[in-house]
Amino acid sequence: MHGPLMPIPPPRNLQQPSSGSRRPSRRSARHEAFGSAAALATPAIAAIDPASNPITAVADRILRTLGLTGARELADPEGAVLGVAPPGSLRGGYSQAPVTKSEIGRATWTFLHSVAADFPERPSARDKRDARCLMDLLTRRYPCEECRKHFAEIIRSNPPRVESGKDFRMWMCHVHNIVNRSIGKPAFNCDMVAHRWGEVDCEGSLCNVGQAGGGR
Rounded to an integer, what distance in angstroms lies between the CA atom of residue 100 and that of residue 105?
9
Dist CA 83 CA 36 (whole Å): 35
List Cβ<8 Å contacts ≥24 apart for 10-19.
none
Predicted pLDDT at 44? 41
Contact present, 173 and 188 (Cβ < 8 Å): yes
Contacts 24+ apart (CB under 8 A), 205-211: 206/58, 206/61, 206/62, 206/65
Residue 172 has pLDDT above 80, yes or no: yes
Query: Which pLDDT band, with edges at 50, 70 and 90, does 22 fall under?
Result: low
Q: What distance in Å separates the CA atoms of residue 55 and residue 48, rounded to the nearest whole number?
A: 11
Question: Which range in 4-8, 66-70, 199-203 is most confidently predicted, on average pLDDT?
Answer: 199-203
* Residue extents of the structural domains in the chain: 54-95, 101-199
Question: What gap in Å lies between CA 72 and CA 176, rounded to an integer?
Answer: 32
Average pLDDT over residues 53-72: 54
Q: How far apart are CA 5 and CA 2, in angstroms?
A: 8
Q: What pLDDT score was predicted for residue 65?
A: 56
What pLDDT score was predicted for residue 2? 53
Class of domain 101-199: mainly alpha
When the pLDDT of each residue in the chain is averaged and rounded to a whole number, the result is 71
